Amino acid sequence: MPELPEVEVVRAGLEPAVTGALITGVDVLDSRSLRRHDAASGTFIDVLEGRRILAAVRRGKFLWFPLENGTALVTHLGMSGQMLLRAPGVDDRLTRIRIGIESPDHGELLVNFVDQRIFGGMAVDRMLPTGDGFPGGFSGAVVGPALVPSQVAHIARDPLDPAFDDGRFVGVLGRKATGIKRALLDQTLISGIGNIYADEALWAAKVHYEQQSATLSGRRAVVLLAEIRAVLAKALAEGGTSFDAQYVNVNGVSGYFAHSLNAYGRQGQPCMRCGTAIRREKFMNRSSHFCPRCQRRR
């Protein structure tokens, strides 16, 4: 599943084209991609056509595009979703929703929402005030409105968000009676982190994935948070993690951070730090990758 860096690459790629753009047409090719849309607010096509997009915003793995009427087009990529910028008339296989826009700087364009497994989707949603009074999510704007879509309001801020509260995160982590990796995957505590980057950050911080969160000292928690940010920033700079053609940016180009991984997917290979073979163990219907020497359970 795409994690924060992959989604941010998409957001940043879309932002110059969609900011200030007028939505000129909408084609829904597969209604299953609208399962999150509340039809009571109006049909998806009718509430979008003729509206102007104000920005491209992200919180964790969620994207939204505020509209001039105070609502927002919310997008979640799910496991295989893509948002591809195309010239008019260019189609993509497995396009579920096609949105035509007139960009102030780039003219007529298409935004094709492509989704192989159809776990992602789009919806037009109402906006709510943020609980902390800060902008709802990360965007290229210097200061955004203190609003967040109702479908995203329960999602915690991500560690690259300027409004992320380090002290709150460390405090809540110290009270959680759960393994540290489970805590990192809890999107109501810290968003944007999935299986890949959790393994990478824990390896960098030398923390075992099953260590109880409450046993992590405040100092170690601060170190872990710093390593999370470093891993995410590195992945973002390198275009995100790409293992197959599903994970691409708005131009259909794959990321390449997979070549820089230290733990995830390296079972049986020597640890880059101590040379011990990386181990893989079952975890929450997935897997955890760690060094049994560097990441001893304390």
Q: How far is CA 100 from each of CA 77, 196, 265, 281, rounded to the nearest angstrom?
A: 19, 34, 39, 46
The verdict on whether 227 is a catalytic residue reads: no
Q: How far apart are CA 223 and CA 206, in angstroms?
A: 10
Q: How far apart are CA 151 and CA 102, in angstroms?
A: 27
The runs of H, that is alpha helices, within 42-164 are: 44-48
The runs of H, that is alpha helices, within the chain are: 4-18, 44-48, 166-173, 180-184, 195-205, 218-237
- What are phi and psi for residue 203, nearest 5 degrees? -65, -45
The verdict on whether 3 is a catalytic residue reads: yes
Strand bridging mode 62-66 / 81-86: unpaired
By CB neighbour count within 10 A (0-12 exposed, 13-18 middle, 19+ buried), where does 275 fall? exposed
Query: Out of 35, 126, 286, 298, which one is annotated catalytic?
Result: 286
Q: How far apart are CA 54 and CA 35, in angstroms?
A: 24
The verdict on whether 206 is a catalytic residue reads: no
Beta strand spans in 87-205 (E):
95-103, 107-115, 121-129, 147-149
Q: How far apart are CA 136 and CA 128, in angstroms?
A: 9
Which DSSP symbol is given to 70? S
Question: Which positions ≥6 away from 276 have C-beta within 8 Å?
Answer: 270, 291, 292, 293, 294
Query: Out of 51, 61, 98, 206, which one is annotated catalytic?
Result: 61
- The residues assigned a catalytic role are 2-3, 61, 286
